[in-house]
Structure formats: C-alpha cells, structure tokens
Structure 1
C-alpha cells in the first residue's frame, strides 16, 4: 500500500519506519491516510461517534508519545485497527463501570415501592447529569472526564490533550461554571413541573 506525500508515493511501511524515527511529516501522512478508515471501523463497535473520534485521537497521540517503544510492523493498518478496537472496548468498559457504580443503591430495600422510587430517581438524576454534561463543548467534556472520571491531575491532562496548564485551568473552569448554571436551570425547571 502506498501513500502520496510531498515526496511522491511512499510505501506505508516506509512511512511507519520514518515515523518511528521521529519524522513529523510521516506521522501526519499516516494520520491523513488512516483516520477515515479507522473511523469507519470504529463505528462498528460503538455508535457514539464522539467516543470513536476521541479514541482515534488518543491512539495517534499515544503513537507519537510512545514511538520509541513501538516496533516496526508490516501490517500498519491491522496494527492501528487492533489498537482502536482495544481502545474503544476499554473506554466503553470504563463508562459501563462508572454507570454501574453511580446507579448502585446504598440503602437496603424495604419494599417494592421504595425500590421503584429509587430507580426512578436514579434514572432522572442520570438523565439530568447527562444533559448538563452533553451541553458542554467537546474539549470541556474531555477535560471534565479526565479530571473527574479518570482522576488525572492538571499536569497529566496537559500531556493527554497537548494543552498548556493555563488552558486546562481555563477550560475546566468554564466547564464547571456552565455545568453549575445548566444544573440550576434544570433543577428549577423540574421543581416547577413537580410543584
């Protein structure tokens, strides 16, 4: 398989070898060549397009930062597809575990009515949190996720997202302010409906 570069057509394996040596142009060519096929492959495992895009971005970020530890391969596309598949499965598992922990009741069940009320309350709370979280721009969502779901400190978020420390602080602050404001609006609306 060949890829067109500024230097003409180059074999993908040659690009991979150049990328492993730190060639940024080879890295960019690999990203351009494989981003769309990776996306088309990834949506077969998850219909969440944003999750798939984030996983692809994470893979390419990891490739660049860990290139000194990656070996050469004759099957670049297979390597990338496998990486994406594993990444999506790992990310989905994290979210499923988080959802399970968030919805696990702590109090003992006394009767069926208590259980039904609890389940309805948990579902409404989850929907409210999801609505507020989904109202954030993508970068703010990612920062909130990394900070509060993955418990990464600001320095690690800088590394993951390739941002300065000040940018991370600013985006996180904007996200928290917007979430508080949205939460207050949703709470007020629900109070008026239930009044």
Structure 2
C-alpha cells in the first residue's frame, strides 16, 4: 500500500471518529489529483471544482459510500470519471463509452543536453499518444502516471482486473510494434 493510500485511510478513519479536520485534510490532499484528472478528461475549470465539491459533499453526508477504507482514491477517481461521463451524455445525448475523450498530457524534464533532442523526443511521444484510443490513453495515465494497481485501474474504468491487464498489455504491445525505436520516450514524461 503506498503512502497516499495509507494517509487517506488514516484520515478517513479519523473522520469517521468525528475529526472534522481530518475530512478537510482529506479534501485538500486529494484535490490536486482530482483536478488534474478532470483536466485530462478535458473538463472546464468550473465544472471540475463543482464536481470535486459535490463528491466530497456526498461523502460527508453519506460516509457509508466508502465500503473499504483502502479504496478511497479509486472511489474519488471513479466518481470524477462518472460525473464527467454523465455530464457528457447529458450534453451530447450519447451513451457510447467513447464519449470520453481522454487527453494524455506528458511532461519531459529538462534533463536533455540540447533543445533539438528535447523537441525530437516530444514529437515522438506526441506521435505515440496520437495513435492511442481514448481508453488506451486513460489506462496508461492511471497505470503509469498515478502508479495505480490493476485492481484500482479496473475499478475506476469499470472493467475487470483481467480486462485492465489485457488493455495495458495490448496498448503497450501496440506502442512497441508501431514505435519500436521511440517506445522508450513514452515513459520519460
């Protein structure tokens, strides 16, 4: 269990015992993660803030929504994702899961010796990312950037753990086959 999960667990247990400050800290500790996830889902800033606020209001009013204290972070991300999908469906009147246009941004540290090399790597990563479907982008984001377990990824994306493993495998296989010489660049961000 990573530190974030353990801290969330301890804060949640403190909140359940009546510590209001623990709930406030839980909100503050997870706000950035949820905000970043909302931006990657291409939500508007006001919409993100409203959804985060609503998620925590719902948790405050109904703490029994968290069945297992180790699933707080996945619960928050699933709630964010579901709120976006519901909003998108309402706006576009679509029920297809591909309404989720996941935007996988990347960052490359300035550890490169010259700007040409940096630009070359950015172009390669951009090319790789453009070839991925929205679901592939999302699973790579959750699995490798947030370093989430397959169980957590599966819970967030509404699929079985084996389906999550298969999707990661197929995505990585596609990257390797399509971009053999540039595949390493995806993991530099």
Same fold (TM over 0.5): no
Normalised to the residue count of structure 1, the TM-score between the two structures is 0.42
The higher relative CO (CA closer than 8 Å, separation ≥ 6) is in 2
Instruction: Give the number of the structure whose residues are more often strand, by fraction.
Output: 1
Larger of the two Rg values belongs to structure = 1
TM-score, length basis structure 2:
0.43
